[in-house]
Structures are given as structure tokens and as C-alpha cells.
Amino acid sequence: MKIGIITTTIRDGRQSLAVANWLNDLAQKRNDGNTYEVVDLKDFNLPVMGGEATEAQLAGVAAWGNKINEFDGFVFVTAEYNHSPSGAIKNALDFLKPQFANKAAALVGYGGVGGARAIEHMRMILAELQVATVQRNVNLFLAVDFKNFSEFAPKDHHAPMIDEMFTQLTNWSKALKPLR
């Protein structure tokens, strides 16, 4: 299985890339036969859905779709903004549907309450895209897993939950493959 670990924020000072890289490092150590890759949403320079778009932004939409097509499953590193996922990921997801259909996703949230509310919103959004979300999610708390609420410094106690999450994601990705 090929699994994309997707950042969901594009602003300066974001932590999603640090979290995604950490998850990728842990995933690589699993030796489970999967291929893992960090996909940084910021690299695609997507336009706002329904607005004016430059040729470069339209090329970004095509590249985003092609990249998502490569994967059997996903881990979304979901920051929480105002009790929701970022507008950037919602916008990005709105450009694609067939590329996500019949695939599986796991959610790793971070924020004041571990990104819990953003994760719940992401589950509903992904359901509409025909993405099956696994039961185990991982919550990273600003007060616990970030120095001074801003520098990512995860605690070791997440390891069993992360392992369970990746196992569930692998199983669901394999189970859904015949539907694609």
C-alpha cells in the first residue's frame, strides 16, 4: 500500500509539516511493506474554489489530483482552527472527489483539545468523498506536545495509538483496493 501523509495547513509558522515528518519517521520504522510519503499541501498553490485562477494555480490543481491518485490511503495531519479543520484543506478537498473515492484515511489532530473537533469535521467531509476513516485517531495537545504551545515536541505515550492507527489504515486500505 502507498500511504500519503498530508499536511492540512499552508500558513507561515504552521506545525503540520513537523507533525507529518514525525509520523513519516515512525511509519518508516514499521517495516510493514507500505510506502509512506509526506504530501505538503502548501506545495500545490491551489486557488480558492470558484474564484479566479492563474494558469499556475490550475496546474497546481492538476498536480494535486495526480498526487492523490497515487495513494491507497492517507493520514491527514489536521490542525484545529476555530473548532474546524483549516480552510486550506477544505478548499483542497473540494477540488477532488474521484481521486479519493474508495480509499481509507486516518486522522492526527493537533490543537488546544488535540484537534478533536477538527477531526470530527474531517470525518464528515471525507465521508462525502467516499473515504472510509479508521476508528483510531491520534490527538496532540498544544499544552502537552508542544513547547511553549508552538514548537512540536511529542511525548512517547503516543506510540501505541500511532501503531494501532497505521495498522487499521493498512487493513482498510487493503480491503478497499478491490473497489478501485
pLDDT at 150: 87
- Give the tens place of pLDDT for each residue, 144-174: 999 998 899 999 899 999 999 999 999 999 9
- What confidence tens digit (pLDDT) does each residue in 108-135 have? 999 999 999 999 999 999 999 999 999 9
Report residue 52's pLDDT band, with 50, 70 and 90 as the boundaries: very high
20, 12, 1: which is closest to 138 by C-alpha? 20
Q: What is the pLDDT of residue 98?
A: 95
Q: What is the pLDDT of residue 111?
A: 94
Biggest CA-to-CA distance, the chain: 46
Q: How far is CA 133 from CA 119, 130, 172, in A?
A: 10, 9, 9
pLDDT at residue 11, rounded to an integer: 93
Q: What's the N-to-C CA distance of the chain in angstroms?
A: 13
Domain count, the chain: 1
Closest CA to 104 of 78, 72, 64, 137: 72
CATH number of residue 23's parent domain: 3.40.50.360
Domain that holds residue 52: 2-179
> Pick from 100, 108, 103, 80: which is nearest to 23 by CA?
108
